[in-house]
Each structure stands twice: as C-alpha cells, then as structure tokens.
Amino acid sequence: MKVALEGIEIQLAHPDELEVTWVGQEEAMRQLMAAWMIVDQRDVPMNPRLLGKPGVGKTTMAYAAGKRLGREVYILQATVDTRPEDLLITPVIESGSKLKYVASPLVTAMVRGGVAILDEGNRMSEKSWASLAPLLDNRRYVESIVAGVKIKAHPNFRMVATMNEDSSTFDLPEYIHSRLQPQILIDFPEREEELAILRENLPFSPDEVLQHVTDFLQQAHAADESYTVRDGINIARYALKLNGDGAGGARLFLQTAVRAVLGEEAMRYSLRR
C-alpha cells in the first residue's frame, strides 16, 4: 500500500499476522490496556514499556493487547545497528535509478492507526531514540529528514516498547525514560499459568511431559534462574522430536533435551523420570 504525505509517495509496511494467545497474568494486560486508554478528548495515550527477562512473553502480550483493540499490529525489531531512518523512512533505489521511500512498521502504524511494538528497545542507541522524542510526548509526530516530511500520528495509534533485563542492553537517556511510561513488569508466571502457556503452545504434547517441564521451570524460578517458558517450550518440543514415533514416551528424553537446550548446569533442577 502507498500513501502520499506532503506530496511524497510512501510505501507502507505490512502488518504482522501471528498465531499467538496471551495466557495468564491478566493484571499486566490490564495495566497495558489502561495505559493506552483515553479518558478525555484532551487526553493522549501513554507509551508504556514492558520490562522483563528474555522469553517471558513481553512481545506476545503486546501483540495480544493490540489485537484486543481490534487494530493492526506492527513489530519493529530494535538492534544496536538500528538507525533513525530505520525507525522512520528509508530511501530505496528501484530499477532505473528511481528513488522510492519505504515507511518503517512504526511509521506505518502511525499512518494507519495501528499498534507499534518496538521490540527490545533498550538495544538501540540514544541517537535513534532521539528521532522518536516528539512522538513520545503530546506532539505525537516524527520528522523524516530523508524524505523531508513531518508525520503526525493517527488518533488511534498506540505504541509500546519491550525491554529485556540483561547485560547486553543500553540505559535509556532520561528524556526518553520519562516519555516511556508506565513501566510494566512481566515476571515469571505462576505454575498453573506456566502449564497453560505450555499447553497453548504445544497442544500435541502429552500432558505428562508438560507437567514435568513445568515442575522443572518452577524449581528454576525459585532459585532465581533466568530460564523462561520459552526454554520450557523448546525442551518439551525437542524431547518430543527425540522420541520420534512416540513409542518410547517423550518424558524419557527430557533430561537429554534439558542438557541440549540449557546446558549441563541446568541438570541441577530435577526432572522426574
């Protein structure tokens, strides 16, 4: 799809279509939806950030929240190499040396009134964040120097940033930190929630396997290990694959799967045989 902004033709991105379901932790979901709410015609939505360890479901929750609003959802993966133009509009040379302008998922969400997820936002540099400063306050616009246009956000536009708690990320500059509010913590789920997530993602798995994996994860959480339900899904999935035709019983391969996915140090947390 193409649109004209201030006389400049812009190619828009496609929304992300994922088969995901958010299970459990409804309080965190309620907080996110509340941050996006408008309580008065003079009000503006907030720009929350979801904070938690890698693999706890931050992106899944943000995507599910966007779908609950009935909006298109656009995901932009941030990295240390993300440039301001990657966040906004990128010039591309077509055949015949013709120049075209391509909007990022974030700018497309602004134009279309969708939901933008800036995934792992604290991997970006301050220079990239600076280009979003006017979007994250009451101005709600961005300026593309490359295309020479100012883009105002549609009233229905919503944004959320996910951020990992690990050593490979940057600290946010204060002027951005104050604009990305509120902070919503996504923690490890309770046992029944974790089991429900495993069942949702692995509906073809014997329940006995998922029970064992859930017990393993809960022991790891109690010891403050960083293992997440994503690790549990990989463990269960690999055990099922190791089992092949299913004759031997996948639970017999769980120890091998744990060692292959998480390493020898994870073997201290027992998996019942």
pLDDT digits (tens, 9 = 90+) for 57-97: 999 999 999 999 999 999 999 999 999 999 999 998 877 77
Q: pLDDT band for position 273 (50/70/90)?
A: very low
Residues 87 and 74: their CA atoms lie apart, in Å, by: 12
Phi, psi at 220, each rounded to 5°: -65, -40
Token reading at 253: 């391969």
Residues 137 and 176: their CA atoms lie apart, in Å, by: 10
Residues 124 and 106: their CA atoms lie apart, in Å, by: 15
DSSP 8-class letter at 168: T
- Residues β-bridged to residue 78: none
pLDDT of residue 248: 64
| Cβ contacts of 26 within 8 Å, gap of 6 or more | none
Q: pLDDT band for position 252 (50/70/90)?
A: confident
How long a stretch of residues is the chain? Answer: 273
Token reading at 10: 């812009």
Domain spans of the chain, in order of start? 2-185, 191-268
Q: Is residue 151 within 8 Å of 107, Cβ to Cβ?
A: yes
Q: What is the CA radius of gyration of the chain?
A: 21
How do strand 115-119 and strand 73-77 relate by DSSP bridges? parallel
CATH number for the segment(s) 2-185: 3.40.50.300
Express each pLDDT in 157-167 by its tens digit: 999 999 988 76
